[in-house]
A and B are shown apart, each in its own frame.
Chain A
Amino acid sequence: MVDQTTSSVAMAADYQAPTAVKPDLRTRLQNLIPKLVLSPSLALILVFVYGFIIFSVYLSFTGSRILPVYDWVGLENYEKLFRLRHWSIAIKNLGIFAGLYIAICTAIGLSLAIFLDQKIRGEGFLRPIFLYPMALSFIVTGTAWKWFLDPGIGLEHTMHLWGWESFEFDWIKNRDFAIYTVVIAAVWQTSGFVMAMFLAGLRGIDNEILKAAQIDGASNWNMYRRIIIPQLRPAFLSAFVILSHLAIKSYDLVVALTGGGPGRATEVPATFMYSYTFTRNQMGIGASSAVIMLMTIAAIMVPYLYAELREKK
């Protein structure tokens, strides 16, 4: 049933290549095959991604609660959404989380990459250690850190047993600091990946320029500051884009680590959307929060993808 929609899309693109000689049936059939092959995937994407986006956007303008209804209420949901304290907490948390997460991951990633790039013995041994958390599920990461940071049995408890009685680290139970524990766990999971991106960038830098600068008496510090780091611009950009979209989508980690708590202290837009839509039966508001998330990501991804795809031509 879906196939029809896209073969027409494919056909629409069919009028290119006007040949002088009218092609016979077999050639025309051959020319059609690639588009036919592409069409199922395209149909899936058009329906399940773009169709669904349109549907969700529409829902965000309706008074849907437990089930979708189709009465138009205009911007009411958005007005309600931005008056909700719950939502402003989520936005503020996302701001803190995304800002720190991106900054710290980039700093650690770049430092580790520069360190590893100094002809380090055991690089082949260290690199996989830095990167393995990326292969884990956020639920596993959350489980490990939830317990490690639990003051009753984790790090704080251990420090006490080791004789450091005054050591205190109860952030995960503390409303004002819990969001920072999400940052710690998320940085642990992805900073190795950022390291790999920067390392690839560093390995791509032409050594001749560096040697020339060395002959001119440039110090290591200056070479990094003036020559090497500026050349890593594409890696910085990729890291920023990937990290920010991961930050906005963060859901699993928060669920596993803090469950949004204590109280609502670590609520983020992704958990907000889920609870409003599926447990509080405020589907219209849930949909409008999802639309805000989508627009934020689109504002970052669309220009980036556009630039990337243009470059390739």
Chain B
Amino acid sequence: MSVASTDNAINTGRITRAFIYLMLILFATFYLLPFGIMVINSVKPLSEITGGNMMALPQVFTLEPWLKAWNSAQIGVEPTGLKPYFWNSLKMVFPAVAISTVLGALNGYVLTKWRFKGDTILFGLMLFACFIPFQIVLIPMARVLGFLGIAGSTPGLVLVHVVYGLGFTTLYFRNYYQVFPTELIRAAQIDGAGFFRIFWRIMLPSSGPIIVVSVIWQFTNIWNDFLFGASFADLDSQPMTVALNNLVSSSTGVKEYNVHFAGAILAALPTLLVYIVAGRYFVRGLMAGSVKG
């Protein structure tokens, strides 16, 4: 998909082209508007939001809402701001991404270069696991996490995210390694290299791009997860998305929209940054997620 040229034999007239540009700009506005307005309104004092026009630029610029969202906003019962939850998310995301990517790489390597009877069925089973509605595992998972003594903790969430991310990471590495020349592996084997040596010396050094894809995909998915966080986390392990939802939907007191917006942007920032820095790989992961590699 990335190698194909942008050359297209279709030619369009001037009026058609004008129409196309108009539509593209309209849609760009549609995609930018809700988030952009949120950004603008996150630096306004509350009175300007409730009394004024959401499209207007701030008359008084203030970072107060951002500081409040980060440090002191009421989340649930505690006025802690989103800060501790931001760290909770990070503490959950890093190990989960690392473990699922390493396992995915090994699985992909086995499933393409050390094939055995029935491996496609096993892969199919792993792949289907990505698409199940997670409602089907919520009840038993709650009990098993309790049984293992990691209910409501960050390690518990890491386990959950590793398990349900494995299918995708395996898919990425499998599709990537599938086109890797098997003759190289055979040659190395004849030279006496074993399973791990081949993986370490031959496969890994050429896996850069797919590692990036896998890491970005897992990072985005796990950071953005809400269902597992809402179901299995305690106060001291709740991720950012759950805290944001608590902040925004708390019904007590005045609705401080500007603080909500700042909070929402804070929650979006890590994945947006990743997208801006490595958007190409993000798109590649998305596309591979529709199975066709």
A-side residues, CB < 8 A to B, are: 13-17, 30, 33-35, 37-38, 40-42, 44-46, 48-53, 55-56, 59, 68, 108, 111-112, 115-120, 123, 126, 128-141, 143-148, 153-154, 157-158, 161-162, 188, 192-193, 196-197, 200, 202-204, 207, 210-211, 214, 220, 223, 234, 238-239, 241-242, 245, 248-249, 251-252, 255-256, 259, 269-270, 273-274, 277-278, 283, 286-287, 289-291, 293-294, 297-298, 301-302, 304-306, 308-309, 312-313
Residues of A within 8 A of B109 (CB): 37
Asked whether B287 is an interface residue with its Cβ less than 8 Å from the other chain, the reply is: yes
Q: How many angstroms from the CA of A154 to the CA of B128 in the assembled complex?
A: 41
The interface stretch among B75-83, B200-208, B263-271 is B263-271
Is B67 among interface residues, defined by CB-CB distance under 8 A?
A: no
Partner of B290, one of A37, A112, A238: A238
Chain B contacts with A in 211-260, Cβ cutoff 8 A: 220, 223-224, 226-227, 231, 241, 244-245, 248-249, 257, 260
- Cross-chain contact A286 with B195 (CB below 8 angstroms): no
- Given the known inter-chain contacts A200-B1, A291-B136, please indicate yes or no for A188 contacting B54, CB distance below 8 A: no
Contact, CB under 8 Å: A45 / B220 = no
Query: Could you write out 25 A-B pairs with CB less than 8 Å apart?
Result: A34-B195, A38-B107, A48-B137, A48-B144, A50-B125, A52-B137, A53-B136, A53-B137, A56-B139, A120-B21, A129-B28, A131-B283, A133-B35, A137-B241, A140-B264, A148-B37, A153-B50, A157-B54, A203-B4, A214-B9, A270-B135, A273-B135, A277-B138, A294-B132, A309-B123
Q: In whole angstroms, how far apart are the Cα atoms of A139 and B260 in the complex?
A: 12
Question: Which 9 residue pairs across A and B have the least CB separation, nearest first?
Answer: A34-B114, A137-B224, A203-B4, A200-B1, A135-B275, A210-B9, A252-B226, A238-B290, A16-B117
Interface residues of B (CB under 8 A from A): 1, 4-12, 16-17, 20-21, 23-24, 27-28, 30-35, 37-38, 49-50, 52-55, 103, 106-107, 109-111, 114, 116-120, 122-129, 131-141, 143-144, 162-164, 166-167, 170, 178, 194-196, 220, 223-224, 226-227, 231, 241, 244-245, 248-249, 257, 260-261, 264-265, 267-268, 271-272, 274-276, 279, 282-283, 286-287, 289-292
Shortest beta-carbon distance from A212 to chain B in Å: 9
Say whether B167 contacts A45, CB under 8 Å. Answer: yes
User: Of B1, B31, B114, B291, which is within 8 A of A203 by CB?
Assistant: B1
Residues of B contacting A146 in the complex (Cβ-Cβ under 8 angstroms): 248
Q: A45 contacts which of B21, B23, B126, B264 (Cβ < 8 Å)?
A: B126
Contact A137 B118 (CB under 8 A): no
Identify A277's interface contact among B125, B139, B282, CB under 8 A.
Answer: B139
Q: Contact partner of B20 among A55, A115, A188, A238, CB < 8 A?
A: A115
Residues of A close to B139: CB separation below 8 A = 55-56, 59, 68, 277, 283, 286-287, 290
Q: How far is the CA of A44 from the CA of B167 in the complex (A)?
A: 11
